[in-house]
Structure 1
Amino acid sequence: MSSSDIFIGETIGTAVLILLGGGVCAAVTLKRSKAQNAGWTAITFGWGFAVLTGAYLAGGVSGAHLNPAVTIGLAIKGGTEWSDVPLYLGSQLLGAMIGAVLVWLTYYGQFRAHLTDPEVVGAHTGEEGMVDKAAAPKAGPVLGIFSTGPEIRHAVQNMVTEIIATVVLVLAILTQGLNDDGNGLGTLGALVTALVVVGIGLSLGGPTGYAINPVRDLGPRIVHALLPLPNKGGSDWGYAWIPVAGPLIGGAIAGGLYNVAFA
């Protein structure tokens, strides 16, 4: 496949993935949203459908990696040329940022209503109603729409959780439903992978929010830091390396396990 195919497929597919995945987080989180407080099950199925849609859109163009951990796993397996890896990763990051911006545009009014509500921002404001940066938490009140965060902040546990969850995801992709050139998801593979993502969210997502995809976390976190959101608080950069490093390590382990146990 050509470089333009990789760029177009991965950028559009990842943008749709983040639009729908971040969109369900916004729908459940934000005030004046009809789905507010719909809960964790809605989020896990929303992300599963997001993966399914992105994979269907990009599968015939770029193979629908949509995730650097998947790209690394496929490269170790031998289905993706290492020379193509930087283009895959750069396109995925760009797509993730575009998707996050689209979530903001879609829920623009809800973001403003949520972030100007005294009940939401009261704990983060000073006497004059401005954000008290010294007292603001590491994670702002809407950061969870854009990126993940741990329920218990323990670097080793958080890293191990992300590695384990990503190994499950990437190994499932490597062992089923690949298209003819072994470089991405076929139609059946997209459906199975979407169901695997739902399963990971329900079973393994509780500790960290299951990034399992470096650009799914990093791209929207960058957008959160840049967007003109009132009272948005911090972007928690101190944690940001874990949902990047953990999935990359997990993808590499999955690729190695495939070569040892399934090749």
Structure 2
Amino acid sequence: MNGFDSAIQEFLTRHAFTSEVVNHAIRTIADFSLFKGLFLVAILWWVWFRGGRRGAWEKEMVIATFVSGLLSLAAGRLLAHFLPFRPRPIYDPEVPFRFPLSGTTETILRTWSSFPSDHAMLWMSVSTGIFLVWRRIGIIAGIYTALVVCLVRVYLGLHYPTDILGGAVIGILITLAMTRDAVRPLYATPILRVMMRFPAPCYTLAFLFCFELVTQFDEIRMIGQSVHKVLDARQGGDPSLTVVGPSEAAARHN
């Protein structure tokens, strides 16, 4: 652990709340989708329907922000898979700090690399898109993401500060690239045109997409992993077909 991570985590653990109720509430905030992307997605829907002189441009920016968020989430998964494995602070025996509620953390997180934080990548990407369209609300969205989504994970020992910073920078850069005037019309304009022509099916799909984005596609991944385990078990002749349970899916929110 580098000096930067050590200094911040030492400060947080030294000033950690002693109340189990408060720490449990913080863990709940970290686990529940309600306290993560739902607030930010609702802002994007507000921007979409509020109208105005730049309505078409704003709608394109909303589309670009959602696309950027999806790319950020995918990039986060790929980087965590292909980069050298980094254990989470709460499971790293070399980290000399005791984190709140360490005993209740799901063990499935042991197998998930800490760097980069896909939460930071996704929701800082979305917050950046909001800022580009609606500056004052975007600042609030950025602060909310930094405190409620990112800092909470450092406090609980789910990520190092550099995991959060690295993920945030990548997510912001993806949004800045995908919302540029030279790039955005290449995909956002055709999508907007189709949505305006076929509103009923498109808004239905948009609602489903937003739901999955807020939950970070955990249920879809859970189904995919369940099918994969069943197929592996059948090929290996294993009569016990293990299915991923809800507790594992909830653990992967982190």
TM > 0.5 fold call: no
The structure whose Rg is larger is: 2
* Structure having the larger proportion of residues in helix: 2
- What TM-score do the two structures reach when normalised by structure 2? 0.27
